[in-house]
Copies of this chain bind each other. A is one copy, B any other.
Amino acid sequence: MSRGSGFDRHITVFSPDGRLYQVEYAFKAAKSAGLTSIGVRGSDCVVVCIERKVPDKSIVPSSVSHLFSVSERIGACMTGLLPDSRALVSRMRNEASDFKFKNGYFCPVQVLANRTGDLAQVYTQQAFMRPYGVISMLFGIDDELGPQLYKIDPAGMYQGFKATAAGVKEQEAINYLEKQWKKSSGNLSRNEAVEMAIECLQNVMSQEYKASDIEVGIITSDSLGLKVLPDAEVEERLNAVSSKD
């Protein structure tokens, strides 16, 4: 087998060309769920959008969500192994409330992204744990910097984005978003942001969605907490999108 000749079975070990195989496999695991998520920053809001894959119809749809409220001000969209997602969200919540308790104000998005990245990095360096098989998007409105959108991967890398994507069609979606962003003034209203996210998802997945097929999460500068758009509103935006074509 050409893949590292045993270097890929030990987490704490570099391969002869300086790669960490287990981390690369964790990326594959994150994508194995077959989901794609989109995040878009508007002028006074951040929007994320992800498919709602309900494996069978007897599942209560609300229990298959990839959107999580991390703190009163920060939302998370997790792409990857669902149990890992929940475990990681649980740790992020602790971090966020610890911060609030110690400092007296809400944990800013960039701080939480930083800590989450550190947490994930540790798992790539220690021998007795595997990395989390999940890519996280953290988003919220910062008092000073306005809308914020961060992506943290299994290697512990985190970066801020104007618009980004994660999952199986990550690259295609990112290319699409870049093009759209250039066209727009980069100054999107709430509706525009939601529509850009939905349009992007439909495009890269080559699918027409119904309101119940996707989840749309939004944090706006006036409400500050994660709001999941009700189906009616999603429907409205889907119509707006399809009428554009």
Q: Hey, which bits of chain A sit against chain B, CB under 8 A? A: 1, 3, 5-22, 25-32, 56-60, 62-64, 81-84, 86-87, 90, 110, 114, 117-118, 120-122, 124-133, 150, 155-164, 174-175, 177-178, 181-182
Contact = CB atoms under 8 A, between A and B. Distances in A.
6 contacts: A17-B25, A18-B32, A56-B164, A59-B162, A83-B118, A90-B118
Contact of A6 (B9, B64, B162, B177): B9
Contacts of A125: 84, 87, 129-130, 132
Nearest to A114: B86
A53 to B, nearest CB: 11
A32 B16 CA distance: 12
Given A60-B159, A60-B162, A84-B121, A17 B28 contact: yes
A9 B11 contact: no
B32 A17 contact: yes
Contacts of A178: 56-58
A8 B87 CA distance: 23
A32 B126 CA distance: 21
A63 B159 CA distance: 5
A83 to B, nearest CB: 3
Contacts of A175: 56
A158 to B, nearest CB: 8
A227 to B, nearest CB: 20
B26 A16 contact: no
Nearest to A6: B9
B58 A177 contact: yes
Contacts of A182: 57
B22 A58 contact: no
A32 B18 CA distance: 7
